[in-house]
Amino acid sequence: MHSPNLDLLRAYAVLTVYFGHLFLTFQVEYITSRFMVYDFAQTGVLFFFVHTSLVLLQSIDRGQTPPVPFYIRRIFRIYPLSVLTVLAMLAFQ
């Protein structure tokens, strides 16, 4: 199911993270006197998590992906890389 609202949410998330990184690259720390660039970029990350959750739940709700095999695939896709990252950080600290 195509949703313009989800496209808008995804676009907002991507653009805020992109411009947040761009501003920080040029060492701009504040957008206004009270609004930090980090907070701006962080909202994009949070919106991306919301978007991903909505898309995954809609996919499961439509019955395209059975929940248990889907979660097992996700665990084996994400977990090994996260363990490797933590081990690398411990080794190179």
Note the Cα 84 to chain centre separation in Å.
Answer: 20
Closest by alpha carbon to 37, among 48, 47, 26?
26
Contacts of 10 (CB under 8 A, 6+ apart): 48, 51
pTM (2 d.p.)? 0.62
Q: Which two tokens stand for residue 31?
A: 């957008």
Residue type, 32: T
18-66 pLDDT, tens digit per residue, is 999 899 889 888 887 788 888 888 999 999 999 888 888 887 777 766 6
